[in-house]
Amino acid sequence: MEINKADQWQFLQNYTPARIARGRAGHSLPTAELLKFQADHAQARDAVYSELKVLDLFQALLSTFNLEVLRLQSEVKSRSQYLQRPDLGRTINQASRKILLEEDASESDICFVVADGLSASAINEHAFSFLNHLIPKLQAENWEIAPICIVEQGRVAIADEIGFLLKASIVIILIGERPGLTSPDSMGAYITYQPKLGLTDESRNCVSNIRPEGLNYELASEKIFYLLNEIKVKKISGVQLKDEMNDKQIL
């Protein structure tokens, strides 16, 4: 039996963090690679059950931007329920709905929603830094920005109701994506024009893997700033809106 035989595709590890070319011991992975797999799997599971640092995020947003910040919750009562009942994570609870209605919001160009999703770790690590790149770009162009909403136990579609109640033309939700074995802290951004209850995924544009090891904050903010301007001008989003931005433009 050959032990720890080198994999002929090992050079590909120079180009991707994907779990390829890990070698073998007989018909199995080498012990070291098996232990790394188990550690990455545990890290991904931990990310799913991680908790949103609401107070830290609230204070950071409030002290940095000249914007109101609201704390909201979905109808989910616990993390186990969040995983078992995705539908409850798509709607805000009565207390949060009351908060938004009492805002008596005027019309705005955009509403930012920040939700834990399937990896609160991603939001804890990346949401503020990303917004610190994007919001100043919008403020420089005189975009009218609604209160920023932090949502606990939220799914993507929860932004539709929030954006509608705050009378925003566009809503963008930053949310922790499903953890991968090499990316437990990946953040996604979903953008919707004319948000309202009942919309489905074809109505949204998605920019995913926002993190330093993926699409970094500056590149992600440039990409999303482009999409937001396209949506504002063309008044469409989702599958109707084609991303014609050349990535070389933001390099």
User: What's the number of CA atoms in the CB half-sphere (13 Å) around residue 248?
Assistant: 0
Measure the CA–CA gap between 42 and 31, rounded to whole angstroms.
Answer: 17
Do 228 and 138 touch, CB atoms closer than 8 A?
yes
The SS3 call for residue 241 is: coil
Q: Is 156 annotated as a binding residue?
A: yes
Find all residues with CB under 8 Å of 30, minimum gap 6, and list them: 3, 4, 22, 23, 24
Could you tell me the two tokens for 163?
Answer: 């954006």
Do 23 and 30 touch, CB atoms closer than 8 A?
yes
Backbone angles phi, psi at 46, to 5 degrees: -60, -40
Measure the CA–CA gap between 2 and 34, rounded to whole angstroms.
Answer: 17
User: Could you tell me the CA-to-CA distances from 161 to 11, 100, 192, 244, 247 in Å, in that order?
Assistant: 48, 10, 11, 29, 32
Q: Is 111 annotated as a binding residue?
A: no
The SS3 call for residue 231 is: helix
* Residue spans of beta strands (DSSP E) within 165-237: 168-176, 187-193, 204-210
Q: Which DSSP helix (H) or strand (E) runs through 148? A: strand 148-152
User: Could you tell me the CA-to-CA distances from 103 to 91, 99, 114, 193 in Å, in that order?
Assistant: 18, 6, 18, 21
Residues in the annotated binding site: 156, 177, 206
Residues in the annotated binding site for adenosylcob(III)alamin: 156, 177, 206
